[in-house]
């Protein structure tokens, strides 16, 4: 007749779900607390400017050209004197009444070899004209300097060798920010021509890098380089200069502190 009705809210629930979710809740809270502490402690700063690059230049004069070899001695010219032919002895066909007396003539002199070269007293037979007694064949007059040979219109400087003129404006390429943040490094070789006014008139990449960002940075900087005009030491004329340069992009890393 009478039944006991128990409200649904008073029924005892299972704690199995609570015990399953409790470790996950603790782990997530632990990660959140560790992330907040790491953000407050970890302070990473990056340099705002790219590292500076320096290049050393030295002016070295080219060695003088070797002297030309001495000319060969002129051959001697000999003049032969043709002797006078002697008439042959022929027996007479008519016997004269008076036999003449035969007088023997002295022998004619032999032809002599006449040389057209005039020698010098104390000289050496077969020597060259204009020499000095006691000198050395093929020697060089010490008080005379060889005349310098003019350079071509386009003077070529070897790769990575210092330029023979001073620089007016030579800012090195900026390190690409995108590549620096990722720790990328690379190397390339460029070839540029300096005009007679000291400005770079042409620049090309002859050995490209692995990433295009470094080539664009190098070309953008080298186009605006300025130098003093190069003058030929032989005649003082202004000449153009072509040069090949290796550009390296490297990040300087600090040694770990102990």
* CA–centroid distance for 179 within its chain: 31
- The pairing of strands 226-227 and 167-169 is antiparallel
Q: What is the mean pLDDT of residues 158-177?
A: 93
Do 232 and 239 meet the contact criterion of CB atoms below 8 Å apart?
yes
Helix, strand, coil % over all residues of the chain, rounded to 5: 15, 15, 65
Q: What is the mean pLDDT of residues 189-196?
A: 95
User: How high is the pLDDT of residue 129?
Assistant: 65
Own/partner contacts of 100-109, CB < 8 Å, gap of 24 or more, are 108/83, 108/84
Q: What is the pLDDT of residues 218-253, one digit of tens each?
A: 999 999 999 999 999 989 899 999 999 999 999 887
Better pLDDT: 253 or 159: 159
pLDDT band at 170 (very low <50, low <70, confident <90, very high): very high
Residue closest to 248 by CA, chosen among 197, 193, 210: 210
Q: Which of 9-18, 170-179, 186-195 has the lowest mean pLDDT?
A: 9-18
Q: What is the mean pLDDT of the chain?
A: 79
Cα 74 from Cα 128, distance rounded (Å):
8
Residue closest to 128 by CA, chosen among 82, 91, 75, 61: 75
Do 146 and 64 meet the contact criterion of CB atoms below 8 Å apart?
yes
Cα 198 from Cα 164, distance rounded (Å):
12
Q: What is the pLDDT of residues 107-146, one digit of tens each?
A: 777 766 555 555 666 666 666 666 666 666 666 655 557 7
Give percent of the chain with pLDDT exceeding 70: 65
User: How high is the pLDDT of residue 164?
Assistant: 93
pLDDT band at 1 (very low <50, low <70, confident <90, very high): very low
Own/partner contacts of 81-86, CB < 8 Å, gap of 24 or more, are 81/111, 81/112, 81/114, 82/111, 83/108, 83/110, 83/111, 84/108
Which residues, in sequence order, are bridge partners of residue 78? 115
Instruction: Give the CA-trace dihedral at 54, 232, 168, 161, to 10 degrees.
Output: -10
Cα 28 from Cα 35, distance rounded (Å):
11
Do 235 and 150 meet the contact criterion of CB atoms below 8 Å apart?
yes
User: Where is 34: in which H helix or E strand?
Assistant: helix 16-41
Cα 221 from Cα 167, distance rounded (Å):
14
User: How high is the pLDDT of residue 12?
Assistant: 61
3-class SS of residue 152: coil
Q: What is the pLDDT of residues 17-33, one digit of tens each?
A: 777 778 888 888 888 88
Instruction: Give the CA-trace dihedral at 244, 250, 254, 255, to 10 degrees.
Output: -90
Reading the block at residue 186, the tokens are 């690379």
- Provide CB contacts within 8 A for 1, sequence distance 6+: none
- Provide CB contacts within 8 A for 50, sequence distance 6+: 174, 175, 180
């Amino acid at each position: 007749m009478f039944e006991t009705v128990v409200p649904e809210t008073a029924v005892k629930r299972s704690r199995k779900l609570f015990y399953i979710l409790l470790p996950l809740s603790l782990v997530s809270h632990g990660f959140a607390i560790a992330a907040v502490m790491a953000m407050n402690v970890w302070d990473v700063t990056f340099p705002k400017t790219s590292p500076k690059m320096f290049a050393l230049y030295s002016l070295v004069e080219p060695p003088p050209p070797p002297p030309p070899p001495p000319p060969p001695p002129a051959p001697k010219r000999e003049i032969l004197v043709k002797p006078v032919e002697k008439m042959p002895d022929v027996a007479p066909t008519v016997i004269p009444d008076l036999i003449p007396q035969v007088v023997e003539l002295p022998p004619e002199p032999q032809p002599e070899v006449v040389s057209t070269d005039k020698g010098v007293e104390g000289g050496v037979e077969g020597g060259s004209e204009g020499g000095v007694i006691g000198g050395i064949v093929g020697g060089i007059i010490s008080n005379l300097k060889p005349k310098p040979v003019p350079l071509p219109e386009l003077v070529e400087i070897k790769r990575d060798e210092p330029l023979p003129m001073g620089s007016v404006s030579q800012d090195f390429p900026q390190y690409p920010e995108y590549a620096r943040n990722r720790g990328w490094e690379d190397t390339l070789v460029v070839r540029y021509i300096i005009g007679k006014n000291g400005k770079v008139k042409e620049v090309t990449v002859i050995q490209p890098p692995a990433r295009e960002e470094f080539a664009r940075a190098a070309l953008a900087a080298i186009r605006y380089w300025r130098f003093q005009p190069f003058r030929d030491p032989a005649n003082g004329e202004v000449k153009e200069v072509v040069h090949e340069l290796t550009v390296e992009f490297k990040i300087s890393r600090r040694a770990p502190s102990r």
